[in-house]
Chains A and B, each alone.
Chain A
Amino acid sequence: MSTAEFEDVMDLDIEGVEASTVHPVGPTEMEARDVSVWFGQRKVLEGVNIVFPKKTVTALIGPSGCGKSTFIRTLNRLHELIPGAALAGSVLYEGKDIYDAAVDPVSIRLQIGMVFQKPNPFPSMTIRGNVLSGLKLSGMKRDNHDDIVEETLTAAGLWNEVKDRLGNAAGDLSGGQQQRLVIARALAVQPHVLLMDEPCSALDPASTLKIEETIRELSKEVTIIIVTHNMQQAVRVSDYTAFFLAEEGTPGHVVEQGATTEIFGNPQEQRTLDYVNGRFG
């Protein structure tokens, strides 16, 4: 048997094992089933199957261009806003397919919040206005706005820095503060799931640390799915990890997934081992 053949067999074997061993304990919040994604004629993601257990943190890692960000956007139906986007498979949230014809994408996005790579506070609103903007934009009714502002800003680790200037423009904050502000904004509508697309990529180490603390704290309440390029960050914040890879000319797919300690400590795949040790990507 040649090496290539051996590896082929190993691939199959390991993926077969994966499906049964990785299935996490505890209730499931979200699940991607055979999700494939196209932009026009180009297939960028193939057969992604991941289970996200309630109140855990799942890290999506992998080199640039492997479809992590695309995948995370399929989880709250932002993907479909891109012209030419297409999708196969299903995404289950609380056991129901969010792509069902009867489902309103607006209500899905309200329950599955998102924090983006670049902080995007609304420039026309104050700090306070930004935190409460989700309530206004979604038409959600919640009382005691002052408490919500304090609670969410505290949860995002920003309260002490801004409590005396809630009426200032959001644009006056630093990049790291803006990112924590948009996390607070996302929390104010009380989402069940929080998607984070490389939330720390534009931040300095101190702000990154604060946001990581925030993520750990939040995971007691909400399910978090985070895309990151930072291996140490994945280890520090996540319970589960999925490793995405797009090999030359092929669509991206999940090479290996499981408990974070396993993926980083005892990966089954050579490619995972190479990637988490910084040998490529």
Chain B
Amino acid sequence: MSTITFDPRTLEQLQQQKSMRPWRKKPTRFTASVTLAVVIPALIVAALYLTSDIPVPILLVVIYLPLQLIASGIAAWATKGTRGIADSVIIVNAIGASLFSVIVLVSVIGSLIVRGLRALSPHFLFQNSVYISPSTPLDYGGIGHSLVGTLLIVFIASLISVPIGIATAVYITEVRGRAVPYVRFFVQAMSGVPSVVAGLFILTIVVATGAFNQSAFAGGLAYAILMLPTVARTAEEVLKLVPDDLRTGALALGSTRARTVLRVVIPAARTGIITAVILGVARVIGETAPLLLAAGNNDQTVVNPFGSPISSVPTYIFNNVALPYPDAVTRAWGSALVLIILVAILFTLARVIGRGRVGR
């Protein structure tokens, strides 16, 4: 038998080939039944929505979802036979569940925009609330002082909890000392501490003893208690993901354990550790109770972390949302919108920082 070689005469034909996706082609029967399965339940639910006054959530969960399940099941049975039914049930449920969580998120953000957008303006972000009463119209005053407070408190909390959290994770994954089970247990137990307890703790230990006033520092301490377990546990998880090859590789180069951790393991897990910090911040940034107790409230802008009580976005919302003045309530919703935007900015920032890949 002779060898077959490439024949240049076929080259022209080959160059005329178009890129296609043969696996995308579906028989008409399939397209028709899928279309019916999507359209019929949607039409029925739309008709019910227009003609009856069944509440929308019930309409979606109690009527639409089972209807869609049955319709998809029938469509699957018509095209693939019985083995298609299980597939279709799983797919419809998966799509339904993810749609549900998206709807929840969208409706939260939607309600913030609807009720709070009116409050947003440049002066809302930069002015403080001195000379502003709950009945003052939206043309004046803002939450600049609360934004500064929140950022200051979160920064102090990060300064305290991030090094301790990472050190805890390093102890658990790298040092692997004898106390690891106990440390892990306490970190886990700490993540169950209610935020109001953290606030009370700082109030009694730090504020009531006269060591510090209600201030950004005291508030930061309370936040740090809440951030620490999140940072430590997330950092532990990401450090565990660093392959052991890198550790032995560094040790084989004559590195000490400390240098291995600082120069190889932690840099390799950098993206994950930034995520740990962000998750910690996201965990605390909306907590109200600890700041009511430890940081207090203020209408002025405070930048000294130790001096006096300080405002923050969550306490500002808390103080305004239940007042009998529509403008104050709108301001509270606006602040909530700002808070959520702040969290979004932090997350994006973390992603961008994490993406920058290789150092020197």
Contact = CB atoms under 8 A, between A and B. Distances in A.
Interface in A76-107: 76, 78, 81, 106-107
Interface stretch (B88-96, B244-252, B305-313, B316-324): B244-252
Interface of B is mostly: helix
Nearest to B267: A124
Q: Closest 8 A-B residue pairs measured CB to CB?
A: A110-B254, A124-B267, A137-B255, A138-B254, A120-B245, A134-B253, A114-B252, A120-B249
B255 A124 contact: no
Nearest to B243: A120
A123 B252 contact: no
Nearest to B256: A106
A118 B245 CA distance: 8
A124 B357 CA distance: 7
B253 A133 contact: yes
Interface stretch (A23-31, A181-189, A212-220, A231-239): A181-189
Interface string B260-271: 100110011010
A116 interface: yes
A110 B248 contact: no
Given A116-B249, A120-B245, A124-B264, 14 more contacts: A78-B252, A109-B251, A118-B245, A122-B250, A122-B267, A123-B358, A124-B268, A125-B358, A125-B360, A129-B359, A133-B263, A136-B263, A138-B255, A189-B253
B259 interface: yes
B246 A185 contact: no
A168 B360 CA distance: 9
B270 A124 contact: yes
A169 B270 CA distance: 15
B176 to A, nearest CB: 8
Contacts of B252: 76, 78, 109, 113-114, 116, 186
A207 to B, nearest CB: 18
Nearest to A110: B254
A186 B253 CA distance: 7
Nearest to A182: B249
A140 interface: yes
A14 B238 CA distance: 53
Nearest to A137: B255
Interface string A132-144: 0110111110000
Q: Is the interface on chain B under 10, 10 to 19, 20 to 34, or 35 or more residues?
A: 20 to 34
Q: Is the interface on chain A under 10, 10 to 19, 20 to 34, or 35 or more residues?
A: 20 to 34
Contacts of B256: 106, 137
Contacts of B243: 120
Nearest to B254: A110
Contact of A107 (B246, B254, B264, B357): B254
Q: B248, B249, B268, B359 — which one has the most chain A CB atoms within 10 A of its CB?
A: B249
Nearest to B247: A81
B263 A81 contact: no
Contacts of A152: none
A189 B252 CA distance: 11
A126 interface: yes
Contacts of A182: 249
A137 B253 contact: yes
Nearest to A185: B253
Contact of B263 (A78, A137, A140): A137
A114 B253 CA distance: 7
Contacts of B253: 109-110, 113, 133-134, 137-138, 185-186, 189
Contacts of B357: 169
A144 B11 CA distance: 54
Interface in B232-247: 243, 245-246
Contact of B260 (A110, A137, A186): A137
Contacts of B260: 137
Contacts of B245: 116, 118, 120
